[in-house]
């Protein structure tokens, strides 16, 4: 069990990365690795992972409600129409990560998302098509075994970048794939590994 931490009173073995922060533990237990097929939810996660670039995920997690409020619940139809005034308003919002390139990248991403939804059978179909709809099941013993990126995340990153998406490098894409359940990267001894696998 050296690579896992038993958290709280429940004595359940968990992936080491979530530590003992209650919000992080809840995210690990309830969300991380659960397959998401809803296009809007996938868009939200991809954007939040992009905002994470250079930061820790817990920073984004703590600000997620603020992000949802600031970006109209990540409704691509609304975000695609944001103009300069909205960008300036977001740049003054202390509840989110105020990075102009990431904010403008979100608007561009929403416009691209709508185009994919209309012309290519949906954002979800585009992403899950790389896996023929089935999550990859890994069996890592230790965090040190988990790669930062793979050939698959590189291929998806290249595709998204070629379309004009920003902050979608292969490492960000791999983290995104883990989060949305395209890959089951819970450590094999983590209590969530088998639960997520059954999903």
pLDDT tens profile 138-181:
999 988 899 999 999 999 999 999 999 999 999 999 999 999 99
CATH of the domain at 105: 1.10.340.30
N-terminal to C-terminal alpha carbon distance within the chain: 25
How many domains does the chain divide into?
1
User: Is 130 within the bounds of a domain?
Assistant: yes
For 74-91, b where at least 16 C-beta lie within 10 A, e where not — what string? Answer: bebeebbebeeebeeebe
User: Is 25 within the bounds of a domain?
Assistant: no
Q: Is the pLDDT of residue 184 over 90?
A: yes
User: Is 23 within the bounds of a domain?
Assistant: no
- For residue 159, give its domain range: 37-198
pLDDT in tens, 102-136: 999 999 999 999 999 999 999 999 999 999 999 99
Average pLDDT over residues 86-107: 98
User: Is 127 within the bounds of a domain?
Assistant: yes
pTM for this model (two decimals): 0.95
User: Is 120 within the bounds of a domain?
Assistant: yes
The answer to whether 96 and 70 are in contact (CB under 8 A) is yes
Total residues belonging to the chain: 199
3-state SS string for 75-121: CHHHHCCCCHHHHHHHHCCCCCCCCHHHHHHHHHHHHHHHHHHHHCC
User: Is 10 within the bounds of a domain?
Assistant: no
User: Is 5 within the bounds of a domain?
Assistant: no
Largest CA distance in the chain: 52
- CA 98 – CA 119 distance, rounded (Å): 32
Which candidate, 53, 48, 42, 19, places its Cα nearest to that of 143?
Answer: 19
């Amino acid at each position: 069990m050296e690579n896992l931490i038993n958290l709280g009173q429940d004595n359940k073995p968990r992936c080491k990365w979530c530590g003992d922060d209650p919000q992080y533990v809840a995210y690990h237990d309830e969300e991380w690795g659960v397959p998401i097929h809803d296009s809007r939810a996938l868009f939200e996660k991809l954007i939040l992972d992009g905002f994470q670039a250079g930061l820790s995920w817990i920073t984004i997690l703590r600000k997620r409600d603020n992000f949802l409020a600031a970006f109209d619940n990540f409704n691509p139809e609304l975000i695609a129409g944001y103009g300069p005034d909205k960008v300036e308003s977001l740049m003054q919002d202390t509840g989110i990560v105020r990075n102009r390139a990431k904010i403008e990248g979100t608007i561009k991403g929403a416009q691209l998302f709508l185009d994919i939804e209309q012309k290519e059978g949906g954002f979800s179909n585009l992403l899950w098509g790389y896996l023929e709809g089935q999550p990859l099941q890994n069996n890592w013993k230790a965090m040190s075994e988990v790669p930062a990126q793979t050939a698959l995340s590189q291929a998806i990153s290249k595709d998204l970048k070629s379309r004009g998406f920003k902050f979608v490098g292969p490492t960000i894409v791999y983290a995104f794939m883990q989060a949305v359940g395209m890959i089951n990267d819970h450590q094999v001894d983590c209590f969530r590994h088998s639960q997520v696998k059954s999903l």
